[in-house]
Amino acid sequence: MSWHALIEVSRESEEPLTAQIEGRIREEISAGVLHPGTRLPSSRQLAEDVGVSRSVVVEAYGRLIAEGYLEAVRGSGTRVAHHLSAPALPTLLDDGLVPPARWDLRPELPRGAGFPHREWLACYQRALQAVDPGDLGYPPLSGADGLREELARYLGRARGVLTTAGQVMVVSGFAQALGLLCTVLSASGIDRIAMEDPCHHRQRQFIGEVGVRPVPVPVDDEGIDVEALAATGVRAVLVTPAHQFPTGATLSPARREALVRWARDTGAWVIEDDYDGDLWLEPGARPPALQRLAPDRVVYGGTASKSLAPGLRFGWLAAPAGLLAALERTRSHRDLGSDVLTQLAFAELLRCGHFDRHLRARRDHYRRRRACLEQAVHRFLPGARITGSAAGLHAYVRLPHRVDEAALVGRALERSVLVPGGRRYHARPEGAAPALVVGYTAVPRTGIAEAVRELGAAYAPKPAAAGAARCA
Ligand SMILES: Cc1ncc(COP(=O)(O)O)c(C=O)c1O
């Protein structure tokens, strides 16, 4: 293998060649150009590339190894030392900068584990075999016809969505859909959108980025407060009716009726974010999509981020026909459609029943994890309680009022437990009751009890309970 590195020397310089090579490599490592673990050329190769004798390079490498900049591993050559990867400063949960922790309880994290690799591969292969060369051109902006048909069937059957293939748009995740919707609404003169408070903090940012002002509306155990919503005078609202994010509340039947009535009476739009509707874990029937009550006023959005993997960047909308045309127009100004092979593979996954089977298995898996979390919270966090419906990948744990949420999150991190506090999701964090938003998918089941025991120790300065942390 012939590795190449951009290292030059100057014959005019009075500095010896060995020192020049040593200095260049050290500088590039310090500047971050040469990354930890980067493979460097062999001494023979570098000598040839630079035009010096091999002993010059051997000596330069030898010094850098002695100084700890490089490491030589028998059989795998010379590399920039791995230990030079300075750990990122732990800025707690700032997006993109995540402090290292043994137990990662962040809620947004469905892990790749559980992804139906074999079925996806089979479906992708079948899609690829069946693909017509014409299908590999730019896809229709709303998605491949075959997938839109499968999605319309699936959404009707599994979520009670009243739609047709022609009203479905395939998107690169709900985040993209939200950006498109806000742009379309803003072009029609809507400059404020009501949002549940608390809600997903990134969604507040996304909406703000397209120039629409988010208006917080409180949420209680029955979901969004529709009277408070009506009092804002807005003409659009974003809601998570099946499983409010993050509190877990399910919009009560009375509030569902009231929300739809408000939309009809005022001509307002409701954007329904059904982000984990596929993963209802309660014993009874899950509530059908709100969209079913008012398909002319509600835009339904779903995503594969919780059910399959967020890395797919895959989601869908079911929108009233007029709105869909406007969404397509807006989209045509900013992108050229979603990856067509992923679309065809997903259509196949739906068509042959693998998606339903996968969801059934995931629900069983998450039920067991959630039960484990419930036991652990009961045992190690006295006075705390999980609120809302059992669904999806996270639970909202309300803490007793005397608990200092920020201090608890900080102390938990010292014990290697990474968990966000509930206030992070509030538009007005100061007034919010203390809570934790606990994801149960990124740690093994056996780790949940251990992680919550650590939380318990951080919560009550003395360990809350003695003995081994084990999930019964
Ligand atoms: C409330 C909520 N909506 C939607 C999504 C999914 O967004 P996307 O489909 O862009 O991954 C998430 C993911 O974390 C979420 O928490």
Tokens 């067509």 locate to 340
Number of H helices, E strands in the chain: 14, 15
pLDDT, average across residues 359-363: 95
- Would you say the CB of residue 197 lies under 6 angstroms from ligand 1? no
Per CATH, the number for 103-109+363-459 is 3.90.1150.10
pLDDT, average across residues 386-394: 96
Confidence band for 471, pLDDT divided at 50, 70 and 90: low
Per CATH, the number for 17-84 is 1.10.10.10
Confidence band for 462, pLDDT divided at 50, 70 and 90: very low
Ligand 1 centroid – CA 174 distance (Å): 6
Residue nearest to atom 2 of ligand 1 (CA): 275
Residue nearest to atom 7 of ligand 1 (CA): 174
Q: What is the per-residue pLDDT for 405?
A: 95
The CA-to-CA distance between both ends of the chain, in Å, stands at 53
Pairing of strands 223-224, 70-73: unpaired
Q: Which atom of ligand 1 is nearest to the CA of 240?
A: 1
Residue nearest to atom 4 of ligand 1 (CA): 275
pLDDT in tens, 334-346: 999 999 999 999 9
Q: Which two tokens stand for residue 43?
A: 């001494």
Residue nearest to atom 12 of ligand 1 (CA): 275
Ligand 1 centroid – CA 204 distance (Å): 12
Q: What is the per-residue pLDDT for 91?
A: 41
Q: What is the per-residue pLDDT for 463?
A: 47
pLDDT in tens, 242-263: 999 999 999 999 999 999 999 9
- Report which secondary-structure segment, H or E, holds 302: strand 298-303
Q: Boundaries of CATH 1.10.10.10 in the chain?
A: 17-84
Q: What is the per-residue pLDDT for 110?
A: 58
- Would you say the CB of residue 180 lies under 6 angstroms from ligand 1? no
Amino acid identity of residue 208, one-letter, is G
Q: In angstroms, rounded to a whole number, what is the distance separating the alpha carbons of residues 327 and 188?
A: 12
Tokens 């999605």 locate to 151
pLDDT, average across residues 309-318: 95
Q: Are 21 and 60 in contact (CB under 8 A)?
A: yes
CATH class (in words) of the domain with range 117-352: alpha beta
Q: Which atom of ligand 1 is nearest to the CA of 171?
A: 9
Q: In angstroms, rounded to a whole number, what is the distance separating the alpha carbons of residues 366 and 381?
A: 21
Q: Boundaries of CATH 3.90.1150.10 in the chain?
A: 103-109+363-459
pLDDT, average across residues 359-369: 94
- Would you say the CB of residue 245 lies under 6 angstroms from ligand 1? yes
- Would you say the CB of residue 173 lies under 6 angstroms from ligand 1? yes
Instruction: Give phi and psi for 89, each to the nearest 5.
Output: -65, 130
C-alpha torsion 241→247→252→255, nearest 10: -70
Q: What is the per-residue pLDDT for 111?
A: 61
Q: In angstroms, rounded to a whole number, what is the distance separating the alpha carbons of residues 310 and 109?
A: 8
- Would you say the CB of residue 240 lies under 6 angstroms from ligand 1? yes
Q: How many CB atoms are closer than 10 A to CB 52?
A: 18
Region label for 68, one of left (φ > 0), alpha (ψ between -120 and 50) or beta (otherwise): left
What is the C-alpha R_g of the chain? 27
- Would you say the CB of residue 108 lies under 6 angstroms from ligand 1? yes
Ligand 1 centroid – CA 305 distance (Å): 7
pLDDT at 1 exceeding the cut of 70: no
Q: In angstroms, rounded to a whole number, what is the distance separating the alpha carbons of residues 101 and 108?
A: 16
In Å, how far are 40, 102, 179, 311, 393 from 11, measured between CA atoms?
Answer: 22, 52, 57, 50, 63
When the pLDDT of each residue in the chain is averaged and rounded to a whole number, the result is: 91
Q: Which two tokens stand for residue 350?
A: 């739906």
Q: In angstroms, rounded to a whole number, what is the distance separating the alpha carbons of residues 307 and 441?
A: 12
Q: In angstroms, rounded to a whole number, what is the distance separating the alpha carbons of residues 278 and 462?
A: 40
pLDDT at 167 exceeding the cut of 90: yes
Length of the chain: 472
Q: What is the per-residue pLDDT for 94?
A: 47
Confidence band for 92, pLDDT divided at 50, 70 and 90: very low
Computed from CA positions of residues 232, 238, 242, 244, in that sequence, does the dihedral angle turn out positive or negative? negative
pLDDT at 464 exceeding the cut of 60: no
Residue to probe by mutation, ligand 1, list 272, 273, 307, most atoms within 8 Å of CB: 273
Instruction: Give phi and psi for 225, each to the nearest 5.
Output: -85, 105
